[in-house]
Every structure is written in structure tokens, then in C-alpha cells.
Chain A
Amino acid sequence: MKSSGNTYYDKMHRLGKFVTVGSILVFCGVPLVVCLYYGIMPKIGDLLLAAGGLCAIFIPTGVAEAFGEIPVMGSSYYVANVTGNILNLKLPAALNALKVANVKSGTEAADAITGLAVAVSSLVTLVMLLLGMLLMTPLEPFLSSPAVSTAAGYVLPALFGCLVLSFLSNDVGGGVIVKKRLLAAIFPFALCIILYLIIPDYYDLGQGFVMVICIPIVYVITKIMYKKGIITVEMPEEEKKTEEEHA
């Protein structure tokens, strides 16, 4: 595959920032217009009282999650944030797309494929919400039925059971085979289990922080195992040749 250098990433991050600024304007524009028109702009004191606790929880968690999700989602993270529902929709969409396209993570192709999947997934949700809004009255009994409520509560295990399978494979995409890389996950996985069993409520609330803790642990263990030759890598034929030429 050809590479057009770093300019693609510059362009996509510029686009992402533009998308984010635009969405912030839309996002704040609606309450601003409504509050100014009806003369119901809230007092700062009331706002701090109402949003202070929420910000104290969601801002650090959101930032921590970003550190875990950006390396996987790449430049599509901006658009994923604009339409929300990252863990239960956009991240699985990205992982699924990488599997379907069989591209190597960290490449321009992977970034574009991830962005495409996130955008398509966002549009489907927007259409579904439009339909749901238009058909709210006839759909209400179905949407509020116990079966739908129960099933909706298990979206994440239903998604990740399938996604984790593809992750267990030695083929990490683009024909690259990495053997025994999962050995590096044993310790952090055990650590997560212990944390979850000890403090389940805090674990759910601070999952972003757990990701941030896991990244350096997995990184260091993987690096040591790679250096010691425990984790081995087989590159596809065309890249082997390029590597030999460079050598």
C-alpha cells in the first residue's frame, strides 16, 4: 500500500478540530438561543451547583478514556465524540471495521477505515433516532417493554463477546502475525479483576482511569517480552523485502 506521508494525519486532525469546534457551537448554540429568547439564562451559582458534581466525575473520566481510546480510534475520535456513545457503538464499530478490512493498526488505511466505520455508525444512529422520534407514540410500548429494557442493559457484553474473539487471533491485521502477545495481558487483566472485585462501583465509574493504568503496564511487559524474543512477529512478504532493503 502507498503512503502519502504525514500530511494525511495533519489534514484529518485539522478536519477533526473543525468538526469539534462546529459541534461545540451547535451544542451550546441551541440552549443559548432558547435561554436568550425566553429570558431563562441560568445564574452562574445555580449552574455550578447543578453541574459541579457532574463535572468533577465526568471530566476526569472523559479525559482518561480519551488516552485509552485515541490510539485505537485515531483521527476518527473527533467525530466519534460529536455523536457520542463511544464504548457501546463507535469503538466496537472501529474494531469490527479493522477486522473486516484486515488492515494493520497504526496505518493510514486503518485510520481511514476506522473513520468510515465511525461515520457510518453515527449516521445509522441519527436515522434510528429520527425514526424513533417520529414513531415515538406507536413504538413506546415496545421500547419500554421489559424485554427491550433487559436486552438494552446487556449491549456491551453482547458486542464485546464477538469482538474479543478476533482480538485473540495472532493475525493483527494486514497479514502481520504476532505470536504470544496475549501473555503480556495476563498481569494487567488479573489486576483489573482484583480491582473490580474489590471496588466494583468505583471501577465502573473510573473505567477510563483503569485503561490509563493498563496502557503503560501492557506496554512495558510487551516490550520486555518482545526484546527477550518471547513475543515474535512475522511481517507480510512485501514488508519483509522493504525491511531487508533498509537493512
Chain B
Amino acid sequence: MSFQDIANSGLIWGCVVVGIILVVLITLYYMVVCYRHAIKVGVAKETVNAVVKSSATFSIVPSIAIVAGLATLAVVIGLPYAWFRLSVLGSVTYELMSANLALKALGLDVATADAYAFGLMAWAMCIGITVTLLFNIFFAKKVHLGTLKLGDKDQKWGAVSQTVFMTALLCALIVPMIFGGIVSLLTFASSAVIAILITGIAKVAKADWLNQFTLAFSLIGAMALSVVYDGLF
């Protein structure tokens, strides 16, 4: 059997469909648990529903970028496994790198890859990310609860200390967006400006519901503008 025969076989389609259904069920269950607990601890049902709406609408556009990655990855590893990998754990960059490294290790490329190369590639994709999952099993709780204890003695310091992590995270994350070229900087600034405009419109028009969609509109607008900026610079 060839690489392509296995990559598009009925068995792999079956395994992938079962795997994705399990992930969907796990995520749905988790969603219900969180929804109920948010209401139990006193968050208004309207607010919880607003979070659901806002999260769903804003997630559509970044998901299109992931679907675009599916088209690229499917060329290399076949449609069913690409669909599986991007649905669970994966990112296009990691998957493409591991697929190429696996083929290189055998001295092959996409055109000459054989059945054995598919097995090697599938496992090479698994290993790296699975190890980080093991880290979560043993250490995520310790890290999380450790940070929550920071404000045990002083309520005010507790409130401040919880902002420390977000500050550190954003310091590290936004630098490449601001200094990574003029298009990136303009896209970043456009997103902020659109957010200010939407917040202003919501305030003037007394349309609080609009605030739920600020991120979605900013994202779409800034991404569309990034194409314009890319053409200009």
C-alpha cells in the first residue's frame, strides 16, 4: 500500500471520526459543567449567555485561518489525518514541521513517501505535544492553586497579584506584534482603534449588546485591513 492509500483509507477515516466525536463530547461536558458553576457562584445568566455568544462569534474568524491551514496540511498528510490533527492539540506549523522532519529522516518527500513513512509521521506528530500534556497532569494544579494562594493574607494584594501574570504574558506576547514590521504594527493599532470606535458607538447608542461583539468586529476589521496594508508596504 502507498502513503496515499493509507492516508485516505476507510480505517483512518473511521478512527478519526470516532476520535473527534470523543473530543466533542468531552468539550460539551466541560462546557455544561462551567456554565452551571458560573451561575451557581452568582454570575447572572444573561452575562453567562453573553460570554457564550461573544466567544462563539469571535472564534469564527481565527477558525477560518485554521481551516486555511487544513487545506495546506491535507496536501502533505491527507485530509482525514489533517482534520484530526487540527481538531485535537495541533497547530499547522508544528504538524507541517513534524511531517517534513519525518519524511526527511527517511530521505523521502511528499511525492515519494511510502506506507511506512505515514506511520513514522503519525507518531512523530504525537510525541512532542503529548509530553506537554503529561506536564499538565502532574503540575497544572500545583501551578494554578499556587498562584491563587498569593492573596490569601491581603485581599488587596490578592487582587493586584492576579494581574501580574496577565501583565507578564502580554509584555512577552505583544512585542513581536508591535516590532514585527509595519503591517503587523498597523494591524495591531487598527484592531485597537476599531475596538474604541465600537465601544464609543455602543455607549452613544446605549447598545450594550454591541460590546459582546467588540473583539469579533475588531478582528475582522483589522484582518481585512492587514490585506490592504500588505498591498501598500
Contacts and interface: CB of A to CB of B under 8 A. Distances in A.
A149 B68 contact: yes
B168 A211 contact: yes
A34 B230 CA distance: 43
Contacts of B106: 46, 50
Interface in A110-161: 112-113, 115-117, 119-126, 128-133, 136, 139-140, 143-144, 147-161
A96 B28 CA distance: 20
Interface of B: 1, 6, 9, 11-12, 15-16, 19-20, 22-24, 26-28, 30-31, 33-35, 37-38, 40-43, 47-48, 50-52, 54-56, 58-72, 74, 79, 81, 83-84, 86-91, 94, 97-98, 101-102, 104-106, 115-116, 118-137, 139-141, 143-145, 147-148, 151, 155-177, 179-180, 183-185, 187-192, 194-196, 211-212, 214-215, 218-219, 222-224, 226-227, 230
Nearest to A215: B168
Contact of A125 (B63, B79, B185): B63
8 contacts: A20-B136, A22-B26, A23-B23, A38-B1, A51-B124, A85-B62, A158-B190, A222-B167
A235 B156 contact: yes
A49 B51 CA distance: 45
Among A81, A149, A161, A172, the one with the most B-chain Cβ atoms within 10 Å of its Cβ is A161
B42 to A, nearest CB: 4
Secondary structure of the A contact surface, majority rule:
helix
A133 B222 contact: no
A49 B125 CA distance: 13
A30 B18 CA distance: 9
A177 B116 CA distance: 60
A158 B218 contact: yes
B226 A83 contact: no
Nearest to A236: B159
Interface in A150-190: 150-165, 167, 172, 176, 178, 181-182, 184-185, 188-189
A45 to B, nearest CB: 9
